[in-house]
């Protein structure tokens, strides 16, 4: 994460990643000629952060010229599949109930804190953190395949998404895997404002269409679902995959409200 005078904390370990300074002992640019030198924040002023470097020098820096120091030395890069299995096994060893998204979140923490390094992708800025980004869509299938090898876990649908539960009964055959739609296929998401929405028992169908009626019915039943929950429900019902942005457009067209939270996927849909 980039450091500014507003988010800086005394004692935080940092590295120099920018600025117009010449790379030298008192300005040890990370991966520059002065080596991989870390420092500690010892003073914070408006627009400036003062750092004591581990080579014995000190200097002050403007906002966004410093970044949190994350130790990644001696970490062997591994494949995403191996990383997912490692994190999932940590949940299984503790007999925890979890979803694929729980594994995704835990994996992101391991990557952000430098304990896991992937061998198949470069770093990029994600919410101010220079990290290797992993999506839940990438992780979901890997979790399903790996957990299916454990007879002590089974898959269960909680009305919104699949969860994995320990009970020693083996993998449940009642929940069949849903094959993902080809990447080139995009479903049609429609709403007809001329037709007044009516309540019904129908939620989502496999025709790839979300209507205002289906959304209103689900909001009535679920009581303030998130955009992600609506997307998950649509997938479980067998519909072609739609994006949260597409669902958002239908939600707004149907006259429903979106109470924005962070992250975006957790935004709640209400009347």
Which burial class, exposed, middle or buried, applies to 49 when counting CB atoms under 10 A from its CB (0-12, 13-18, 19+)? buried
Question: Tens digits of per-residue pLDDT, 20-58?
Answer: 778 888 888 877 777 778 899 999 988 899 999 988 899
Q: What is the CATH number of domain 2-68?
A: 2.30.30.40
Instruction: Tokens for 6, please give them.
Output: 């507003």
- SS3 (DSSP) at 10: coil
**Residue in 87, 196, 207 with CA at minimum distance from that of residue 138:** 87
Q: Angle of helix 244-253 relative to helix 227-236, nearest 10 degrees?
A: 110
Q: Rounded to whole angstroms, how far apart are CA atoms 246 and 264?
A: 13
Is the overall model pTM greater than 0.75, yes or no?
Answer: no
Q: Domain residue spans in the chain?
A: 2-68, 80-166, 180-271
Question: Tens digits of per-residue pLDDT, 185-224?
Answer: 444 444 444 444 443 333 444 345 666 677 777 777 777 7
Question: Tens digits of per-residue pLDDT, 54-91?
Answer: 888 999 998 888 988 875 557 889 999 999 999 999 99
Strands, sheet with 162-166, edge to edge from the N-terminal-most edge strand:
98-99, 162-166, 153-157
């Amino acid at each position: 994460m980039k450091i500014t005078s507003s988010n800086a904390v005394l004692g935080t370990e940092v590295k120099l990643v920018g600025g117009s300074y010449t790379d030298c002992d008192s300005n040890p640019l990370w991966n520059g000629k002065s080596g991989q030198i870390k420092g500690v924040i010892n003073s914070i002023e408006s627009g400036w952060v003062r750092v004591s470097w581990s080579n014995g020098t000190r200097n002050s820096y403007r906002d966004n010229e410093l970044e949190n120091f994350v130790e990644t030395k001696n970490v062997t890069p591994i494949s995403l599949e191996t990383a997912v299995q490692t994190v999932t096994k940590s949940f299984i060893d503790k007999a925890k109930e979890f979803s694929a998204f729980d594994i995704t979140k835990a994996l992101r923490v391991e990557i952000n804190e430098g304990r896991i390094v992937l061998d198949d992708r470069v770093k990029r800025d994600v919410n101010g953190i220079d990290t290797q980004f992993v999506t839940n869509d990438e992780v979901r299938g890997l979790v399903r395949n790996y957990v299916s090898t454990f007879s002590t876990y089974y898959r269960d649908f909680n009305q919104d998404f699949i969860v994995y539960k320990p009970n020693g009964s083996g993998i449940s055959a009642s929940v069949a895997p849903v094959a993902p739609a080809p990447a080139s296929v995009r479903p049609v998401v429609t709403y007809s404002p001329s037709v007044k929405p009516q309540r019904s028992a129908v939620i989502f169908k496999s025709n790839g269409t979300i209507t205002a009626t289906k959304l209103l019915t689900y909001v009535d039943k679920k009581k303030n679902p998130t955009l992600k929950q609506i997307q998950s429900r649509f997938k479980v019902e067998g519909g072609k995959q739609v994006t949260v942005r597409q669902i958002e457009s239908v939600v707004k067209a149907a006259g429903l409200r979106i109470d924005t939270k962070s992250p975006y996927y957790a935004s709640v849909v209400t009347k």
